[in-house]
Structure 1
């Protein structure tokens, strides 16, 4: 692939340099914020050598090249549209802001939650894997639970959830435009040792302090999500308001001082308790649906998840999943999402075996493997949505797999990992594996049975004719 030639073709087919507001890339895709997407020739872009698919999502037009190739294309593309390679870090911030402006309010809210929780996922995954390891040790009696090593590993596994408000406080303040260290302090206040730690203490009763007639329950927020999110949002607003009125000469002293004091009172007196009620309400409602609807809920959510991905709203689920982990010690939503993801891989495999388009065949296999590893964009946008019915087949496979993992009560010890990597955090790897097979096989068979009609321009012979001409 001549990456310089590819970059030049992209600029033309995207409507010219001036139509590209901002550009960046992830592991597999160019991510572009476009002024007017009606000027894009999407069909021609998908015919460029090396392009595995193109789609518009989350305020960005994204072009799939795959790991490694995308870096080379971006290095040629960026100078052509005026993006400085030396200012990648700062440009990514402006790129995110530009992308958000193109989103509707709900998608913008979902993206904000995603930006807060994605940096925290490695810590939760590490804790989840340790919890899974400890569960195996306890179940198969590999180690005495009273041994020093087991006790220390147990400490390591629970640490991320105990200090979760501090992690969220830092990340949320950064996203909301506040001082991230002040956000961490607010999280520290909400998990202070003076407050009763509810983590693992089901029957403990906190003391109550009288604050000018208000009863302050001395109960900590270890393992909670919503209370600290709401509190840090208010903190960021308050900090910015104070900076506007406090003289610069004393800003460094007074702004953090007043921000921490006022936000601390707000957290313990108002927002914290209300946030706890809201978080408990969401968890209770989900548990009620899970217990009553059971497999039906898994069938519906597993079938619809990939469609939700198209809207970008799925980014908001991280907060709900983290709340479930903290409240009930397991995440029953992630296995459902995993079934929908691997089903996209099953449908992509069906396309590989049935299509006569050589380029689609070349895309389908790596796209399927990517979906099995939890990254579905190449399969969804590069293969299945192109023919539509395979996408429906994937929805059927995801629904069947989702129904099974709910029936067998499969849970995860973390968030963020799906597909094959989720075996590391699945509480029941055997039933998760069975659900995996059901989802992939169901999608594969459904996609083949539904079939699809390939457009004449996408057949191998027609491609050869165009090339010859």
Structure 2
């Protein structure tokens, strides 16, 4: 956003004859400094706050309600890039407890968004142009890479995004309510069941539906 604003400003005030040279340089250099000195620290502070909230929520008496909230909001976190902070929480839980209860919810959120795209594949089965985006996005989402599904399909149509978020919230509640545990961080999609403790495979598979 900073770079776009600077680019528009310098495009407006720079003469045409030197615009090709001046605009990229004058837009990029300040944007880099602003990103490192202002935007970056703000992002870290927000990430730390979210990480602390997640750690508290998973250990609290209202963890099932927290799971619903986390499942609901995880997809928007992915769109902002703040979801990377969950890796530190997962790693810490695995090192202390030898399992993590957070990662199963993440995998289920990815599956929910993939299922929302799958619904769009069915609804748009006669639209070949849409299917060129829908099908690869669905496959990648089920394999743990959600960005094509989120930005290419679900956010575009909005309704699938909301449906995926609601499905993720419901799955997270059930998953946390039954205490599903993962041995480690794995593939955040359908293959994610391989990281789940074997005795929780049944309930995790149910949540995947």
- The TM tier, using the shorter chain, reads 0.7 to 0.9
Match of 1:430 among 182, 195, 202: 202
Show structure 2 runs of 5+ residues with no match.
9-30
TM-score normalized with structure 1 length: 0.35
Is 1:346 aligned with 2:115? yes
SS in 2 for 1:412: coil
Kept after mapping to 1: 8 A contact 2:57/2:66: no
Whole-Å Cα distance in 2 between the matches of residues 395 and 353 of structure 1? Answer: 19
State the match for 1:325 in structure 2.
94
Is 1:285 aligned with 2:56? yes
SS in 1 for 2:121: helix
Whole-Å Cα distance in 1 between the matches of residues 207 and 171 of structure 2? Answer: 5
TM-score normalized with structure 2 length: 0.73
State the match for 2:188 in structure 1.
418
Is 1:36 aligned with 2:33? no
- Report deviation, 1:317: 1.4
Show structure 1 runs of 5+ residues with no match.
1-32, 41-96, 114-280, 438-469
- Report deviation, 1:286: 4.1
Whole-Å Cα distance in 2 between the matches of residues 436 and 99 of structure 1? Answer: 43
State the match for 2:19 in structure 1.
none
CA change 1:350–1:315 in 2 (3 A) is: same
Whole-Å Cα distance in 1 between the matches of residues 33 and 140 of structure 2? Answer: 25
SS in 2 for 1:410: coil
Is 1:306 aligned with 2:75? yes
- Report deviation, 1:98: 4.8
CA change 1:327–1:287 in 2 (3 A) is: farther
Whole-Å Cα distance in 1 between the matches of residues 169 and 77 of structure 2? Answer: 14
- Report deviation, 1:295: 2.5
State the match for 1:391 in structure 2.
161
Higher helix share: 2
State the match for 1:131 in structure 2.
none
Report the aligned-residue RMSD.
3.3
C-alpha deviations, 1:324-382, integer Å up to 9, x for none?
11222211011111111111111101111213542212211221111111110111000
After TM superposition, the structure 1 = structure 2 runs for residues 102-181 of structure 1, keeping only pairs within 5 Å, are 104-105=39-40, 108-109=43-44
Is 1:297 aligned with 2:66? yes
Match of 1:363 among 111, 133, 138: 133
Kept after mapping to 2: 8 A contact 1:107/1:312: no
Kept after mapping to 1: 8 A contact 2:55/2:89: no
Q: How many matched pairs?
A: 180
CA change 1:100–1:312 in 2 (3 A) is: farther
Higher strand share: 1
State the match for 2:16 in structure 1.
none
Whole-Å Cα distance in 2 between the matches of residues 282 and 300 of structure 1? Answer: 11
Whole-Å Cα distance in 2 between the matches of residues 375 and 399 of structure 1? Answer: 19
Match of 1:101 among 35, 41, 58: 35
Match of 2:174 among 401, 404, 407: 404
After TM superposition, the structure 1 = structure 2 runs for residues 63-74 of structure 1, keeping only pairs within 5 Å, are none
- Report deviation, 1:397: 0.9
Kept after mapping to 1: 8 A contact 2:120/2:134: yes
